[in-house]
């Protein structure tokens, strides 16, 4: 009988909201309302090589179709997701999103460095890439509501997911990320994005022979 391994399912996601914090009376992301969620789901083989992946974006009326993707993931990767994206999405879910297998890059960075860094800082310093727009404009696009504005909103959200994925893959492969400090010096930050030993995966079995 050939050797059998499991596929690893990873999900990257990003949330855009309908309002800004300056427009609500609380600090709860759940009060902002979610306009769109972009999700990149991929399957990895036993060597952590991506076999296939797909980007999808979900508007509010499509969220029911999105939850299955989250539930089947071995790791759900985001940036500041536990502090922002997850609580923003929670009012739409009939289960506790925080109980899923989350991996928040921001949390890992803060644990290593002792303070927060922006996604744009890490992307520019590590990948030489930048975010294509801003959260403020994302809210404006939603309020405009025309076809072109909604296209820009979806594209912005999807590009943030792609940057998050590239940053994660770099950190996972190289065990470090780069950032620019307040004196404009390029610095290196050690990170550990590996999976725990003896991790049980939810993906389907694959036969190697």
Pick the closest to residue 62 from 96, 88, 35 (CA basis): 35
Separation between Cα atoms, residue 44 and residue 78, nearest integer Å = 18
Separation between Cα atoms, residue 146 and residue 116, nearest integer Å = 35
Cα angle 124, 125, 127 (rounded to 5 degrees) comes to 65
Query: Could you read off the pLDDT of 140-177 as tens digits, one per residue?
Result: 999 999 999 999 999 999 999 999 999 999 999 999 99
User: What pLDDT is attached to residue 129?
Assistant: 94
Q: Token pair of 81, please? A: 């997701």
Position 91 confidence tier, pLDDT thresholds 50, 70, 90: very high
Query: Could you read off the pLDDT of 8-65 as tens digits, one per residue?
Result: 999 999 999 999 999 999 999 999 999 999 999 999 998 889 999 999 999 999 999 9
Share of the chain above pLDDT 90, in %: 86
Q: Token pair of 200, please? A: 């049980």
Separation between Cα atoms, residue 90 and residue 96, nearest integer Å = 7
Share of the chain above pLDDT 70, in %: 92
Question: What domains lie within the chain, and their CATH numbers?
Answer: 8-192 (3.30.420.10)
Residue with tokens 């999900």: 11
User: What pLDDT is attached to residue 4?
Assistant: 41
Tell me the mean pLDDT in the region 89-103: 97
Pick the closest to residue 189 from 92, 136, 95, 121 (CA basis): 121
Is residue 209 over pLDDT 70? no
Q: DSSP characters for the chain?
A: ---EEE-EEEEEEEEEESS-GGGSSSS-GGGS-EEEEEEEEEEE-TTS-EEEEEEEEEEGGGHHHHHHHHHT-SEEEESSIIIIIHHHHGGG-SS-GGGS-EEEHHHHHHHHHSS---HHHHIIIIIS---SS-HHHHHHHHHH-SHHHHHHHHHHHHHHHHHHHHHHHHHHHHSEEEEE-TTS-EEEEE---PPPTTPPP-SPEEE--
Is residue 198 over pLDDT 70? no
Separation between Cα atoms, residue 120 and residue 117, nearest integer Å = 8
User: What pLDDT is attached to residue 206?
Assistant: 46
Position 201 confidence tier, pLDDT thresholds 50, 70, 90: low
Tell me the mean pLDDT in the region 53-81: 97
Work out the mean pLDDT of the chain and round it to a whole number.
93
Pick the closest to residue 41 from 89, 91, 77 (CA basis): 77
Is residue 137 over pLDDT 60? yes
Pick the closest to residue 63 from 136, 13, 98 (CA basis): 13
């Amino acid at each position: 009988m050939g050797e059998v391994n499991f596929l690893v399912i990873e999900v990257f996601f990003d949330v855009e909201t309908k309002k800004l914090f300056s427009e609500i009376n609380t600090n709860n992301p759940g009060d902002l309302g979610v306009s769109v969620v972009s999700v990149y789901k991929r399957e990895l083989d036993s060597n952590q090589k991506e076999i296939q992946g797909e980007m999808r974006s979900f508007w509010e009326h499509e969220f029911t179709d999105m939850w299955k993707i989250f539930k089947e993931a071995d790791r759900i990767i985001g940036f500041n997701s536990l502090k922002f994206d997850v609580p923003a999405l929670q009012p739409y879910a009939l289960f506790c999103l925080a109980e899923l297998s989350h991996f928040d890059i921001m949390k890992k960075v803060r644990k290593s460095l002792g303070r927060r860094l922006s996604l744009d800082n890490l992307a520019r310093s590590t990948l030489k890439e930048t975010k294509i727009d801003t959260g403020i404009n994302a809210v404006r696009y939603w309020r405009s509501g025309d076809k072109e504005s909604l296209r820009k909103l979806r594209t912005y959200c999807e590009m943030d997911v792609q940057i998050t994925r590239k940053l994660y893959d770099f950190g996972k492969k190289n065990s470090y990320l780069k950032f620019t400090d307040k004196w404009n010096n390029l610095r290196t930050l050690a990170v550990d994005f590996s999976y725990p030993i003896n991790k049980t995966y939810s993906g389907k079995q694959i036969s190697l022979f």
